[in-house]
Amino acid sequence: MSKTTFAANFDSLDDIREFVGEEARRVGFSDKEIYAIQLAADEASTNIIEYAYDGVENGKIEIDCSIVNEELKIVMRDQGKPFDPSSVPEPNVNGDLAERKIGGLGIYLMRKLMDKVSYETSAEGDNLLTMVKRVGDRG
């Protein structure tokens, strides 16, 4: 289990991807899965920065990676505004150019790339986003 805290700004995204990528590599995920996990963590962090903190300076994102029963569990904790990704409607990923909206695409990707995505508010009022990926899921 490893836990690291990052400054909630876009400059941290490189470090966040590296951190979860290293954890995923240790678990034995394939390169394709590692990329997927890094992308999901990036999209989740971007959402926290854009929506939960929404311009607040000095925000923090704490990321906790653990391996339980052949699953990599990533928990992201922030102290921004409550932001439940499941409240965001699914984007249209089939329409023509004019119909496409970019909003919600990051969350859509998170859901597609990970096996489980859930959100809760902690007792202290923090946002807790949990994403799980099973080892050995090919695809």
Partner 1 sequence: MEITTKQFKSCDMVTVKGRIDSSTAPQLTEALEGITGDGRYKIVLDMSELEYMSSAGFRALLSGQRVCKRYNRGEIVLAVVPQRVQEALELAGFTELFKTFEDTVEAVGNF
Q: Is 43 in the site for partner 1 (CB under 8 A)?
A: yes
Q: Is 42 in the site for partner 1 (CB under 8 A)?
A: yes
Strand order in the sheet with 60-68: 2-7, 60-68, 71-78, 127-134, 116-121
SS3 125: coil
Q: Is 119 in the site for partner 1 (CB under 8 A)?
A: no
| Smaller CB separation from partner 1, 1 or 16 | 16
User: Are the C-beta atoms of 24 and 113 separated by less than 8 Å?
Assistant: no
Q: Which of residues 80-109 bind partner 1 (CB under 8 A)?
A: 93-94, 96-98, 100, 102, 105-106, 108-109
Question: What is the DSSP-derived secondary structure letter of residue 114?
Answer: S
Binding residue for partner 1, selected from 2, 3, 5, 10, defined by CB under 8 A: 10
d(CA 83, CA 130): 13
Q: Is 13 in the site for partner 1 (CB under 8 A)?
A: yes
Stretch that binds partner 1, among 13-21, 61-69, 76-84, 125-133 (CB under 8 A): 13-21
SS3 72: strand
Measuring CA to CA, which residue among 4, 128, 6, 3 is closest to residue 59? 6
Question: Which residues in this chain contact partner 1 in the complex, by CB under 8 A?
Answer: 10-11, 13-14, 17, 31-32, 35, 38-39, 42-43, 46, 49-50, 93-94, 96-98, 100, 102, 105-106, 108-109, 112-113
